[in-house]
Homo-oligomer: A and B are copies of this chain.
Amino acid sequence: MVGYPNKKDTYKEKTASAAHRGMTLERDINDTNKYYLETDRAAIYKKPTPITIVNVDYKSRETAKITEAYFQIPSTTDYNGVYRGQYIDFEAKETHSKTSMPLSMIHQHQLDHLARVVKYGGIAFLIVRFAVYDETYYVPAKAFLEKIGSSSARSVKREWFQENCTLIPYNYVVKVNYLRVVDKIIDKGDLQ
């Protein structure tokens, strides 16, 4: 018997591959930001992971070795920078859920920070990837905050993203080309 894949196998393969891609959202965004930097378009960086340093071993100046440190809860989002004279600020989240994005993925601090950025006139958003479907959305922070403020649900359904957000174009060189969406927002003149 020749081993043609049956439907179940095909489905499994697709899920596995999509799941693998889902793991790479952070790397895709870092590659994209590097591309923006190298093509002289924008200076947008991932912030370093905040840690509390307890002990450092200063054997020599060049090789100070941190021997005890702990992760902190971040007080802001992971990414920010400047593009076309605008302050850009966003958080990236990927989910493997087929139906919704759990709100437990995002800290209250980060939501408060996004609300402040909106208030102070920056461009604030989330990049949310549904790994199973390989869909990556540009999610305006203002709309997202209104959505989660209007309900006590602990997750946001995929349908909401489909109806209210913009799919971010993907290509091999620019993996999460979110500035294409930001361009439209700036050109329109309404930053939120």
Binding site for B on A (CB under 8 A): 37, 40, 42-43, 45, 47-51, 53, 63-72, 75-76, 80-89, 113, 116-117, 119-122
Contact = CB atoms under 8 A, between A and B. Distances in A.
A117 B121 CA distance: 18
Contacts of A43: 76, 113, 116-117, 120
A84 to B, nearest CB: 7
A185 B51 CA distance: 35
B82 A122 contact: yes
10 contacts: A42-B120, A64-B71, A66-B68, A66-B71, A80-B81, A81-B87, A82-B116, A83-B120, A84-B121, A87-B122
Contact of A84 (B66, B71, B120): B120
B45 A76 contact: yes
Contacts of A88: 87
